[in-house]
């Protein structure tokens, strides 16, 4: 007779998904999205952000870089981006598309976004989150006080206008060409 392991209490299942990354689905390709004019990828990014109630008003302003991430035979799986502000980068809108959630892609997308920010010269990454504090903590971010944010980040439209005061500010240092 084969014994099945006991099923954990539902609250423990939720806790495990935050504490330990699941077995990852492989991100096969990353593609920079041209934000200067509408394209199929730009439209997909915008639709994904709107579906998640994330800011889209300032997507086409200078200094933004967004990437599309593809998995399993070139299937669009998610998006991530940042705003470059000298030695500071503001991480923008990490989105894993619904059909790919729970497969560990966030654990691959965020480090890739941080690597691109580091390549652009950033030594510090900042973000605002309303619901993913635990995930970003596992990715090396720490909660920061709004009064400690550098002027370059504090003056962004996301920080000053688009994200509510309830959003948690988080920070992490970046090593040169973070990988």
**Which whole number is the average pLDDT over 133-160?**
87
Q: What is the DSSP letter of 140?
A: T
With a cut of 70, say whether residue 164 has pLDDT above it: no
With a cut of 90, say whether residue 45 has pLDDT above it: yes
Q: In what order do the strands lie in the sheet with 168-173?
A: 27-32, 64-71, 75-85, 88-96, 124-129, 168-173, 142-143
177 confidence band (pLDDT: 50, 70, 90): low
The dihedrals phi and psi of 54, each to the nearest 5 degrees, come to: -105, 155
125 confidence band (pLDDT: 50, 70, 90): very high
C-alpha to C-alpha distance for 174 and 36, rounded to whole angstroms:
28
Please state the pTM of the whole predicted model.
0.80
C-alpha to C-alpha distance for 47 and 63, rounded to whole angstroms:
21
């Amino acid at each position: 007779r084969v014994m099945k392991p006991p099923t954990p209490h539902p609250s423990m299942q939720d806790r495990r998904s935050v504490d330990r990354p699941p077995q990852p689905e492989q991100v096969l390709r990353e593609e920079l999205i041209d934000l200067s004019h509408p394209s199929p990828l730009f439209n997909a990014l915008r639709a994904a952000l709107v579906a998640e109630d994330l800011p889209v008003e300032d997507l086409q302003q200078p200094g933004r870089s967004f990437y599309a991430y593809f998995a399993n035979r070139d299937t669009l799986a998610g998006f991530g981006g940042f705003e470059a502000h000298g030695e500071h980068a503001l991480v923008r809108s990490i989105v894993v598309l619904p059909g790919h959630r729970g497969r560990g892609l966030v654990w691959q997308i965020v480090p890739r976004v941080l690597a691109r920010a580091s390549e652009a010269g950033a030594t510090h990454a900042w973000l605002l989150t309303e619901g993913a504090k635990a995930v970003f903590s596992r990715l090396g971010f720490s909660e920061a006080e709004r009064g400690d944010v550098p002027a370059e980040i504090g003056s962004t439209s996301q920080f000053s206008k688009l994200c509510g005061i309830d959003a948690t500010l988080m920070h992490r240092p970046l090593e040169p060409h973070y990988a």
